[in-house]
Structure 1
């Protein structure tokens, strides 16, 4: 394949080129391609000798990859990456690594990598003692109330959905008015979980404060452990936060939602594994009830 095979500035989008040619690359060449994919949009200032040493491949391998991707050689590849490094998404809350000029397949690669990084970053920040304390709070709660607004409200709904099927009395509220009412009526054997990526959602912070004052257990899931939401809760699980500036009310922070869901799924797994027989029985009853419900609907529709 020659350099005229691709269209666009500087011969076309780098990640698109890698996606097109990846299956035909050798194992050592894929090492180079993987690095380029993960650092697309950045400048590569290494000489070909230094770059080869960093990746543990030969200079010839780097040259072959450059040509396979449609460039005249490694210098042309470097120039293309330098030219694209200045283009950044101007829309708030969109990861800085994603360029507006990217092809959709390029965006898919970058987004997958960013979401994976956010989960791994969240996992690295986990404290085993805090995690177990959160699980104990869920295990011992007579009732679990989840509160959040915007995108966090969707995570709250998913959490309630998961735990209801396992036999937990769980409910989610997405407006400050109802959240305060729910908090005012919680008792010491109840649990409130507040979710807010920025931790600045005042309604969630106030509801957590009230629930805690009433003796209920409280958990905050947020990226800012020093925020109002975190300070209001008895336990805090911290999600990973990138350097992308987060602008409230301007769309959801993409990596934040996947990190929140990761923590919820983790707590859910810990919960159902703790007493597999009891929780499995609830899951079985739920499945049977749904099976009968939909079977009856099918008969009526028929």
Structure 2
């Protein structure tokens, strides 16, 4: 994995000092060849040992190894810059904006894929496949992918129950037990109502799957399985777009895995799609 991509994907798990180092390395990667560990420490106003420990935490022997690895990554073109590098900027400003957005989404999806190992995705798909009922909830913007997922599950013969209100969901899950799954989508994972819902569901014997940012949060702590999303951008209006793009990619991957587990799922999907189309044609 590119060291810069590794830094991006693990940034949310870092301490405040480590995030300062990470941000500086990401923003000034092309200048690192001229920086010693002491010069980097001086630029950030921290101790040299903090730089060394940061490098070792990423799996390198020390700062020189990290600096060399970053230099190699840049030489290979692995920096994953938002812009087009040394290429001339396109004449159409909208084209430049679109390309930057596409680069940002691609980077967020790649980072997210790397922090969700295949065995975790497989375990969650297996859990949903054999579930008696799958309850899905998300509040605010998270409600859109939550509702879409529950509908997709229903199309392939999995009972998906969606609510946009945690009180209604609490009432629906009152009879939940072993064999039931609750999937909770919450970007920050800090909403008290959702944490309470997840805790109650787990106490009833059900299994909880959370989908949050790649940060320590209460909801993630209550989950049996956690889907993690890594998406960052300095523009406040763009960062949520990257988050939801990466989240949707995760959910789509699980749906595709479920669809391809035997022809019965695909045949059921085809039948349901035909029924929906017949209704639309009336």
DSSP-derived class of the 1:132 partner: helix
Partners of 1:133 and 1:55 in 2: CA distance: 35
Larger Rg: 1
Please state how far the C-alpha of 1:180 moved relative to its aligned partner.
2.1
Distance 1:163 1:233 in 2: 20
Q: Residues 61-93 of structure 1: CA distance to partner in whole angstroms, max 9, x if unpaired?
A: xxx966x979xxxxxxxxxxxxxxxxxxxxxxx
Q: SS of 1:215's equivalent?
A: coil
| Displacement after TM superposition at 1:291 (Å) | 3.1
> Distance between the aligned counterparts of 1:65 and 1:238, measured in 2?
34
User: 2:260 matched to which residue of 1?
Assistant: 273
Q: Map of 1:43-58 to 2, 5 A cutoff?
A: 54=75
Verify: 1:186 aligned to 2:172, yes or no. no
Unpaired runs of 5+ residues, structure 2, are 1-26, 33-73, 78-85
Q: Please say if 1:199 is aligned against 2:189.
A: yes
The 1:55/1:184 distance shift into structure 2, 3 A limit, reads closer
Aligned pair partner of 2:206 in 209, 213, 216: 216
Q: Is the 8 A contact 2:135 2:160 kept in 1?
A: yes
**Cα offset, 1:201, TM superposition:** 2.0
Runs (5+) with no aligned partner, structure 1: 1-40, 47-52, 57-63, 71-101, 298-302
For residues 135-180 of structure 1, the C-alpha deviation after alignment (integer angstroms, 9 at most, x for no partner) is: 1110111111111111110010110121111111112211221122
Distance 2:28 2:186 in 1: 31
Q: TM-score, normalised by structure 2?
A: 0.65
Change (3 A) 1:175 1:245: farther
Paired residue secondary structure (1:192): strand
Q: Deviations over 1:38-68 (max 9, x none)?
A: xxx999879xxxxxx9589xxxxxxx966x9
- In 2, the alpha carbon distance for the partners of 1:252 and 1:180 equals 31
Counterpart position of 1:169: 159
| 1:160–1:170 Cα contact (<8 Å) kept | yes
Change (3 A) 1:254 1:189: same
**Equivalent in the alignment of 1:234:** 224
TM-score by length of 1: 0.61
Residue 38 (structure 1) aligns with: none
For the 8 Å contact 1:219–1:235, the answer to whether it is kept is yes
Q: Choose the corresponding residue for 2:105, options 97, 109, 115.
A: 115
SS of 1:274's partner is coil
Query: Going by fraction, where is helix more abundant, 1 or 2?
Result: 2
Do the aligned residues in 1 keep the contact of 2:199 with 2:222 (CA within 8 Å)? Answer: yes
Measure, in 1, the Cα distance between the counterparts of 2:239 and 2:227: 19
**4+ residue runs over 4 A deviation:** 41-46, 53-56, 243-246
Match of 1:292 among 256, 278, 282: 278
